[in-house]
Amino acid sequence: MKSICVFCGSGKGSSPEYINAAQELGRLLVKENLDLVYGGARVGLMNEIANTVLEGGGKVTGVMPQYLVDKEVAHTGITKLHIVKDMHQRKAMLSELSDGFIAMPGGLGTLEEIFEALTWAQLGIHKKPCGFLNVNGFYDKLLDFLDHAVDQEFIKSDNRKLVMRDPSPENLLELMRNYIPPGVDKAKWILHIQ
């Protein structure tokens, strides 16, 4: 892996643990010589992780649609800021530029982005690892829900295995490095048969 896409909140969350985790992950990316790819904003956890990587001498690439740049939320100090037409182009480009995806705590935007990356992994559109940095147990209920969806036979247990998780950035990165993408049998996925 050469670059990691991090999806995270445009807010900072209720606890300093979230900011600390963004900084910790940023320092780890620099230490491991991994470039940061992210939404390109200068707000919330996104700003924390981008600044930490820059301060450590790492490379930060942002991708932002023009209308968010117009709202002046773009981080103008990053290594490279790609300005794209819309959110769809943004997600496609974030995906193209990265070798793996991490969701830090965040809101609807973060959830939508990581679930799209997981859906694309499920379909075999990419073979990149996807993980939740489960800081402070933030994602416990969501991960329990995914187990419920497996029990109810809406998520296949093989696809549930696409979802990696760990509260520690080091451990999560290790899991992602050891990720073996499943062989995708599209007919089985679409028909949902064994």
Residue of closest CB approach to ligand AMP: 109
Residue 137 Ramachandran class (φ > 0 left, ψ -120 to 50 alpha, else beta): left
| Residue placing its CB nearer to ligand AMP in the complex, 113 or 116 | 113
Q: For residue 81, what are its two tokens? A: 């800021």
Q: How far is the CB of 39 from ligand AMP (least distance, A)?
A: 3
Q: How far is the CB of 114 from ligand AMP (least distance, A)?
A: 9
Q: How far is the CB of 153 from ligand AMP (least distance, A)?
A: 29
Residues that bind ligand AMP (CB under 6 A): 7-11, 39, 41, 43, 46, 68, 73, 106-110, 113
| Residue placing its CB nearer to ligand AMP in the complex, 25 or 46 | 46
| Residue placing its CB nearer to ligand AMP in the complex, 20 or 157 | 20
| Residue placing its CB nearer to ligand AMP in the complex, 42 or 126 | 42
Bridge partners of residue 60, in order along the sequence: 36
Q: In the chain, which ranges are E strands?
A: 3-7, 35-38, 60-65, 80-84, 101-103, 130-133, 163-166
Q: How far is the CB of 157 from ligand AMP (least distance, A)?
A: 28
| Residue placing its CB nearer to ligand AMP in the complex, 77 or 107 | 107
| Contact assessment for residue 1 and residue 29, using Cβ atoms and an 8 Å cutoff | no
Tell me how crowded residue 100 is: count the other CB atoms within 10 A of its CB.
24
Q: How far is the CB of 104 from ligand AMP (least distance, A)?
A: 9
* Percent of residues in the chain assigned helix, strand, coil, to nearest 5: 50, 15, 35
